[in-house]
Amino acid sequence: DSGVTQTPKHLITATGQRVTLRCSPRSGDLSVYWYQQSLDQGLQFLIQYYNGEERAKGNILERFSAQQFPDLHSELNLSSLELGDSALYFCASSDSGGEVDTQYFGPGTRLTVL
Amino acid sequence: ELKVEQNPLFLSMQEGKNYTIYCNYSTTSDRLYWYRQDPGKSLESLFVLLSNGAVKQEGRLMASLDTKARLSTLHITAAVHDLSATYFCAVATRDSNYQLIWGAGTKLIIKP
């Protein structure tokens, strides 16, 4: 158990809908990262937050957005969902978001868009 | 563009054998990570390699880094079934703003 928690574990929804995925980092970690893992695209970095501020953006679609709250938990919002958004979404955390930090991954949220 | 290539992508081997997974990357790297993922599960950190010639070992797994060749290897000694998983390498560089760039993963199946 990495200490990173994610809810929900599974989510099934329809195209066009909006969902919110939640992540709580390890105690004391200030950085949160979001990743998407799909069979055809592999593991893709979406976005990083550090202590409430956006630090880096990866391959995140405009339909997706995220935020990190004062208590350091983070939410990833996915809107206008498409079939291709079906994937495993991971949150990871690290203590400072520095150059050497190891990222610790949560159990993931499996999103199925029908 | 920083690219990370792993090979092989799939490996089926017998228990007791030795094998090596390779991770090549396309530009100077400051650090390299190895992770393990069991089917349908999360990713677990195995090793962080920070300098040329770095070698780390945990049980039957040993990782090494050659920054001049831009190559890391993950060596499995006397494989056991419990090591069956997908192994990912990831690289962070100044060019990627220290965000991790991931290899495609090597799916390892170890047969009794």
**B13 vs chain A: nearest CA distance in angstroms?**
23
CB within 8 Å of B82: residues ≥ 6 apart:
none
Work out the percent of chain A whose per-residue pLDDT is above 70.
96
Nearest to A100 among B31, B35, B99 (CB): B31
> What is the residue-averaged pLDDT of chain A?
93
The span from the CA of A73 to the CA of A21, in Å, is: 11
Quote the pLDDT of residue B32: 92
Nearest to A105 among B42, B99, B102 (CB): B42
pLDDT < 50 positions in chain B:
none
Task: Name chain B contacts of A91, Cβ cutoff 8 Å.
Answer: none
Task: Give the pLDDT band (50/70/90) at residue A99.
Answer: low
Question: What is the pLDDT averaged over residues A23-50?
Answer: 92
Work out the percent of chain A whose per-residue pLDDT is above 90.
81
Question: What is the pLDDT averaged over residues A51-56?
Answer: 92
A53 versus B98: which is more confidently predicted? A53
Quote the pLDDT of residue A97: 63
Closest CA to A25 of A74, A90, A86, A84: A74
Residue from A26, A105, A109 whose CB has the most chain B CBs within 10 Å, to mutate: A105
A58 shares contact with chain B (CB less than 8 Å): yes
Say whether pLDDT at A106 is over 90.
Answer: yes
Quote the pLDDT of residue A100: 67
Quote the pLDDT of residue A39: 80
Quote the pLDDT of residue A40: 74
